[in-house]
Amino acid sequence: MVQALIRKSACVADLKKRAKRRIPKFAFDYIEGGCNSELALKNNREGLDSVFLRPEYLQGYSKPELGIELFGKHYSAPIGIAPLGLTGLIWPDASAMHARSALKANIPFVLSTVSTISIEDAAKNAEDNFWFQLYPPADEEILNDMLDRLRAVGCQNLVVTVDVPTPSRRISSIKSGLAVPPKITIKSVLESAIRPIWSLATVRAGLPRFATLHPYIKDAKNIEDISNFIRVTLKDVVDETTLKTLRDKWQGNLIVKSISHEDDAIAVKEIGVDGIIVSNHGGRQLDASLPPAETLEEIINAVGSDLTVMADSGVETGVDIARYLALGAEAVFAGRAFLYGVGAHGELGAEHTIDLLRDELEQVMSQLHCSKPELMHQYLE
Ligand SMILES: Cc1cc2nc3c(=O)[nH]c(=O)nc-3n(C[C@H](O)[C@H](O)[C@H](O)COP(=O)(O)O)c2cc1C
């Protein structure tokens, strides 16, 4: 089976092509799209492509060991599954598939606040590889309850996303009428009809719902009510005060996602957070943003070794992961790649995506004679 998968989908680009054939257009567009004119998306690619690695072939060789330590836990590779909202639209239970495959491969899995499986389900599937991404609720009772639920399932790592002060404008989703949660339109029904396997799986599982937030949604009579609830309940602007409050309430590791300026990195270090993810949300929020491949070194120089600095955005191959590691990231997350994996081949696709990225990274490290991820910076041109 594995060999057959490798022949069908030998790289993430193959997974993407196959996912496009298996899921309806509105769902594919939701994954693929960047915001506005999709310049940030393009610039993420160009930013990574302009990072070059330089081997010294005559220096000693030892087989690469991909394992890393993050926040005191050993992981088998410096690769993680980024938080992804509304994954049930791609395939029912996509996040559970990601969670199980992350556990199996021993890499971090981050559940989104607006994912379609609950905190409890995700933790059951990912065990201690489970991390949680928070869009902080404005209502303190809901926030406290969510933090209690995270403690109850043993979650150690809380990731707070700061780059959604306002909803983004993704043209393809506006055109397809995709709303959160999804609306059923004639167009979406027609697009689904020509993807019968997806339709059957989705009909069996029922329309995706926001499972983590579900217990707080009272008096919702219809999809509009749920949508309004989420808009009102989740804070849009996350500022230093919000982060200080979270620091006081959360004793586990606190990680801030979507840092793109060194001043913000210094500010969160002073608040006492444990780590940051340098990211521009995969080019889905600010079209004029700098690619993380350009900001990462500056940010690392500003915060020194006091924070665990990780990165995401634009990862399509293990070569891209090697590039972020060479720029100084301790671990690298990917988003879309994992959705293409599930869209293309279901749960095996989730596992296959991890294998592909890991094997490609290992090949690059071997090529460079680099024995460990933390030594990758030596090979930056
Ligand atoms: C379909 C989709 C949904 C996403 N949902 C969330 C989310 O709920 N919370 C969040 O912090 N980031 C979210 N992101 C951003 C990812 O966590 C990550 O930053 C981004 O996907 C990395 O770029 P890449 O897709 O090029 O790997 C989402 C990204 C995609 C593609």
Going residue by residue through the chain (381 aa), what tens digit of pLDDT does each one get? 567 777 789 999 999 999 999 999 989 999 999 999 999 999 999 999 999 999 999 989 999 999 999 999 999 999 999 999 989 989 999 999 999 999 999 999 999 999 999 999 999 999 999 999 999 999 999 999 999 999 999 999 999 999 999 988 988 877 776 654 455 666 666 677 678 787 778 777 777 778 899 899 877 666 667 777 888 888 889 999 999 999 999 999 999 999 999 999 999 999 999 999 999 999 999 999 999 999 999 999 999 888 999 999 999 999 999 999 999 999 999 999 999 999 999 999 999 999 999 999 999 999 999 999 999 999 999
pLDDT at 229: 82
Q: Whose CA is nearest to atom 28 of ligand 1?
A: 84
- In this predicted structure, what is the pLDDT of residue 173? 77
- Give me the pLDDT at residue 1, please: 53
189 within domain boundaries? yes
166 in Cβ contact with 284 (< 8 Å) = no
pLDDT value at residue 258? 98
Instruction: Report how far residue 352's alpha carbon sits from residue 156's, in angstroms, rounded to the nearest whole number.
Output: 27
Q: How many angstroms is it from 81 CA to the middle of ligand 1?
A: 10
- State the CATH number of the domain containing residue 233: 3.20.20.70
Domain of residue 6: give its range.
Answer: 2-47+68-365
Task: Please name the residue whose Cα sits nearest to atom 19 of ligand 1.
Answer: 281
Please give the number of the atom of ligand 1 that sits closest to the Cα of 44.
26
Whether 283 is covered by a domain: the verdict is yes
Tell me the per-residue pLDDT of 153-205, one tens digit each, with 9 for 90 and over. 999 999 999 999 998 898 887 777 665 445 566 666 667 767 878 777 877 77
Does residue 62 fall inside a structural domain? no
The three-point CA angle 228-184-133 to 5° equals 50
What is the distance in A from the centroid of ligand 1 to the CA of 165? 15
Pocket probe mutation, ligand 1, options 336, 342, 356, max atoms within 8 Å of Cβ: 336
Cα 44 to Cα 264, 282, 316: the distances in Å are 20, 8, 11
Query: Does residue 230 form part of some domain?
Result: yes
* pLDDT of res. 195: 82
Residue 281 annotated in active site: yes
Is 188 among the annotated ligand-binding positions?
Answer: no
Cα separation, 46 vs 296, in Å, equals 15
154 is in an annotated binding site: no
Residue-level pLDDT at 105: 98
Q: Which of 260, 259, 261 is closest to 243 using CA atoms?
A: 259
Domain count, the chain: 1
State the Cα–Cα distance between residues 133 and 189, nearest whole angstrom.
31
Please work out whether the CB of residue 168 comes within 6 Å of at least one atom of ligand 1.
Answer: no
Query: Residue 380 falls within a domain, yes or no?
Result: no
Structure confidence at residue 207 (pLDDT)? 72
**Does 133 show up as a binding residue in the annotation?**
yes
Kindly name the residue from 98, 214, 261, 281 that is annotated as catalytic: 281
Query: What is the number of the ligand 1 atom nearest to the C-alpha of 83?
Result: 17
Residue 375 located in a structural domain:
no
| pLDDT the model gives residue 305 | 87
Question: Is 85 annotated to bind ligand?
Answer: yes
